[in-house]
Amino acid sequence: MLSITSKRLCFRANPEKPAAAKALENLRAFAATRCTVVDGVDVAGSRPDRVVVIGGDGTLIGVARSMGRDQVPLIGVNVGKLGFLTEFSVDEVRRNFDEAVGNDSLISKRMVLDVAVFRGGQSLRAFLAINDCVIQAGPPFRIIHLGMSVDGEPLTDLDGDGVIVSTPIGSTAHSLSAGGPIMQPGVEAIILTPMNPHSLTHKPLVIERDSVIEVEAMGVNAGTTLIIDGQVSCPLQKGDCVRIKRFDTEVLVVRNPVHSVWHKLVTKLHWGRRPESETAGM
């Protein structure tokens, strides 16, 4: 039996979800009887052993990004819709609480991205991307022209709606919708997925983890934007360069011990399900 009395736990919840507030109250009270509950606002200062994140995948992504290099294992509790990263339901986290808090073998390391924007050769902004970074055309929605290189070697010029550069975590998010591959979370690589390219030859690429990708905005619209995890944005101008590489710290996610790594892919996205006939169930 795991002893977790010395463990320190803090909680973060999505304030816009009423179900998250209810779950927060429930789980905080439950946790306080088993370990030490500390302040969840200043995670680095509170020095917790785990952070319980209550909401959906977007909530967990926002919390992970806010922690920067001071990553702490995250226990994601889903009160949203899909819940790929928030692997636990409220009931599941209660039933498996001691394991989730005390069993370090359940901690999964997830590769994420360091994204920097340069303008006129000078660093403009820097971001941590958990799921992906997207360069998207924007108003007036004409085709944009991007020049892409890998490790300083020219790769291609892309005319289209933009490009998605994704982590393995983000392979089931925007990249998947644009035709990108599905990757196991533990695979360390970078996915480059063109968005509606004006070409029959631009296909998604899987690039080794230590590569440095540079995307130059060679021809853009007034509304062309760099979007990080669908949550943070940065307008781009002609001549801007976006440099993307592996972040030097990994995000830590606590796996649900009762589900396989493919559980959500099969049960939520119905991967591999055979087509049903019109007469099925009749």
Of the listed ranges 55-69, 82-96, 219-233, the one predicted with least confidence: 82-96
- pLDDT mean over 126-145: 97
Confidence of residue 262 (pLDDT cuts 50, 70, 90): confident
Range of the domain at 141: 113-246
User: Which H or E run contains 224?
Assistant: none
pLDDT for position 117: 98
The more confidently predicted of residues 220 and 273 is 220
The pLDDT of residue 279 is above 70? no
Of 145, 88, 123, give the one whose Cα is nearest residue 242: 123
Find the mean pLDDT for residues 109-116. 97
Residues 120 and 236 in one domain: yes
Task: Report which of residues 147 and 267 the model is more confident about.
Answer: 147
Instruction: Kindly state the percentage of the chain with pLDDT values over 70.
Output: 98
- Residues 81 and 264 sit within 8 Å (Cβ to Cβ): no
pLDDT of residue 282: 52
Q: Comparing 17 with 137, which gets the higher pLDDT?
A: 137
Q: Is residue 83 part of a domain?
A: yes
Q: Is residue 81 part of a domain?
A: yes
**104 catalytically annotated:** no
Residues 54 and 135 both lie in one domain: no
Q: Are residues 144 and 61 in the same domain?
A: no
Say if residue 57 is in the same domain as residue 127.
no
Q: Are residues 153 and 236 in the same domain?
A: yes
| 78 and 62 share one domain | yes
User: Total domain count for the chain?
Assistant: 2
Q: Quickly state the pLDDT bin for 1 (edges 50, 70, 90).
A: low
What does the pLDDT average to over 60-70? Answer: 95
DSSP letters along 88-109, please? B-HHHHHHTHHHHHH-GGGEEE
The CATH number given to whatever domain includes residue 31 is 3.40.50.10330
Quick one: 98 and 139 in the same domain? no
C-alpha–C-alpha distance, residues 114 and 179, integer Å: 23
- pLDDT of the residue at 268: 75
At residue 269, the pLDDT reads 80
Residues 6+ apart with CB under 8 A from 237: 119, 217, 220
pLDDT at 281 over 60: no
Is 206 contained in some domain? yes
Q: What is the CATH number of the domain that holds 194?
A: 2.60.200.30
Q: Evaluate whether 228 touches 74 at the Cβ level (below 8 Å).
A: no
Place of tokens 């982590």: 167
The reply to whether 147 and 187 lie within a common domain is yes
* Residue in 57, 132, 161, 240 annotated catalytic: 57
- 190 token code pair: 């970078």
Interval 158-196: pLDDT, tens: 999 999 999 999 999 999 999 999 998 889 999 999 999
Q: Does a structural domain hold residue 272?
A: no
